[in-house]
Copies of this chain bind each other. A is one copy, B any other.
């Protein structure tokens, strides 16, 4: 995978979660972009699917910005993953436009079931954790190793 959207989306959600914990208002895309070393417009594009699914609420206007759409313990990492990568399958199937023999055709079928199961395993692994878990884990890491070189 060369797709870093999940990584970015997770970071954004962690920032929003910590802002919510600290009682801070919505974070603007410019603020988030600065934390992520990225462009505000890029951040806004990242937020689109998260907003569509209700994980994030964006308010327009002068004092606008983004905030979480739900409490952190009701947002799983699997949901964030789904939003970040959309319908894109984790494993690509070989094009195989016109199968030469029936074996190749059924091999594609077999591959599909395999990868579906593997992808489900990933989602299950991510579904066990919530954003709240992530925040507490992050806090733990920060207190244990305050300033890593």
> Which residues of chain A have a CB within 8 Å of any CB of chain B?
1-4, 6-8, 10-11, 14-15, 18, 34-37, 77, 88-98, 100-107, 109-111, 114, 117-118, 121-122, 124-126, 129, 134, 137-138, 141-142, 145-148
Contact = CB atoms under 8 A, between A and B. Distances in A.
A49 B117 CA distance: 25
A111 B37 contact: no
Interface residues of A, dominant DSSP: helix
B107 A138 contact: yes
B103 A18 contact: yes
A6 B92 CA distance: 8
A93 B146 CA distance: 22
A2 B95 CA distance: 11
